[in-house]
Structure 1
Amino acid sequence: MLLFGVSLYLLAPQVADMLASWPQLSDIAPWWFAAVATGQVLSVACLVLLQRMALRTSSWFPVTTSQVASNAFSRIVPGGAAAGATLQFRMLGHAGIDAPTAVTGLAAFSLLQTASVLALPVLALPALIAGVYVPHALLQSAVLGGVAFALVVAVGAVLMTADRSLTALARAAQSLHNRVAKRRPPVTGLPQRLLDERNAVRSFLGSGWWKALLATAGKLGFDYLSLLAALAATGSRPHPSLVLLAFASALLLGMIPITPGGLGFVEAGLYGTLTLAGVATGDALLATLVYRLASYWLPILAGPIAYVLFRRRYGSMRSTTGGET
Structure 2
Amino acid sequence: MASNTSEGSDSADEDPVADSAVNAEISEDEARANLGASSGIDRKKSIIGGIVAIVFLAIVFTRVIPQIGDYAEAANYIQAMTTAAIVGLIAVVLWYLFFYGWPFVAATPGLSYKNGFIVNQSAFTVSNGIPAGGAFGLGLQYAQLTSYKTTPTAATAAIGATGVWSIFITMFLPVTGVVALSVAGDDASGYVGAALLGIGLLLGTVLIFAFILKSEANARRIGGWADSLVGWVFKRFGKDSSPDVTAQVIKLRHDIVGLVSKRWLVITLVQIGVSWSQFAILYAAMVGVSGNSGAPTLLLVYGCWAIAQLGILIPITPGGLGTVDAVMIGLMTSFGIDSGLATAADLVWRASSYIPQIVIGLICIFYWRWDVNRMRKKAARSAA
Q: TM-score, normalised by structure 1?
A: 0.76
Measured after TM superposition, the shift of residue 6 of structure 1 is 4.1
Among 263, 285, 289, the residue aligned to 2:321: 263
Aligned counterparts of 1:74 and 1:154: Cα–Cα separation in 2: 29
Which letter maps to 1:11? Answer: V
**Structural mapping, 1:203-282, within 5 Å:** 203-205=261-263, 209-235=264-290, 236-282=294-340
Matched, 1:314 2:372: yes
- Contact kept in structure 2, 1:12 and 1:264, CA below 8 Å: yes
- Contact kept in structure 1, 2:81 and 2:289, CA below 8 Å: yes
Matched, 1:133 2:186: yes
Matched, 1:46 2:99: yes
Q: 1:22 to 1:256 in 2, by over 3 A?
A: same
* Identity fraction in percent: 22
Aligned counterparts of 1:131 and 1:261: Cα–Cα separation in 2: 28
Q: 1:268 to 1:106 in 2, by over 3 A?
A: same
Measured after TM superposition, the shift of residue 197 of structure 1 is 4.8
Structure 1 segments unaligned to the other structure (5+ residues): 173-189, 317-325
Q: 1:287 to 1:159 in 2, by over 3 A?
A: same
Aligned counterparts of 1:143 and 1:194: Cα–Cα separation in 2: 28
SS in structure 1 opposite 2:102?
A: helix
Matched, 1:152 2:152: no
Which letter maps to 1:275? Answer: T
Which letter maps to 2:266? Answer: K
- Contact kept in structure 2, 1:238 and 1:279, CA below 8 Å: yes
Range 58-67 or range 159-168, more displaced: 159-168
Among 86, 93, 96, the residue aligned to 2:146: 93
Which deviations, in whole Å up to 9, do the C-alpha atoms of 1:178-215 show, x marking residues without a partner? xxxxxxxxxxxx9998656534213423xxx5433432
Q: 1:284 to 1:132 in 2, by over 3 A?
A: same
Q: 1:297 to 1:128 in 2, by over 3 A?
A: closer
Aligned counterparts of 1:218 and 1:159: Cα–Cα separation in 2: 26
Matched, 1:10 2:63: no
- Contact kept in structure 2, 1:118 and 1:149, CA below 8 Å: yes
Structure 2 segments unaligned to the other structure (5+ residues): 1-47, 228-247, 375-384
Which deviations, in whole Å up to 9, do the C-alpha atoms of 1:17-67 show, x marking residues without a partner? 676534643311233334334334433433432211211123223321121
Instruction: Give the total of aligned pairs.
Output: 295
Aligned counterparts of 1:87 and 1:128: Cα–Cα separation in 2: 39
- Contact kept in structure 2, 1:51 and 1:109, CA below 8 Å: yes
Measured after TM superposition, the shift of residue 126 of structure 1 is 5.6
Cα RMSD (Å): 3.4
Which letter maps to 1:118? Answer: M
Which letter maps to 1:97? Answer: T
Measured after TM superposition, the shift of residue 282 of structure 1 is 0.7
Measured after TM superposition, the shift of residue 127 of structure 1 is 5.2
Measured after TM superposition, the shift of residue 296 of structure 1 is 1.6
**Structural mapping, 1:29-68, within 5 Å:** 29-68=82-121
Aligned counterparts of 2:305 and 2:206: Cα–Cα separation in 1: 21
Which letter maps to 1:4? Answer: A
Among 282, 286, 289, the residue aligned to 2:347: 289
Aligned counterparts of 2:186 and 2:65: Cα–Cα separation in 1: 28
Q: 1:265 to 1:195 in 2, by over 3 A?
A: closer
Q: 1:297 to 1:194 in 2, by over 3 A?
A: same
- Contact kept in structure 2, 1:70 and 1:85, CA below 8 Å: yes
Aligned counterparts of 2:103 and 2:173: Cα–Cα separation in 1: 18
Matched, 1:84 2:137: yes
Q: TM-score, normalised by structure 2?
A: 0.66
Q: 1:143 to 1:290 in 2, by over 3 A?
A: farther
- Contact kept in structure 1, 2:138 and 2:159, CA below 8 Å: no
SS in structure 2 opposite 1:48?
A: coil
Aligned counterparts of 1:263 and 1:130: Cα–Cα separation in 2: 28
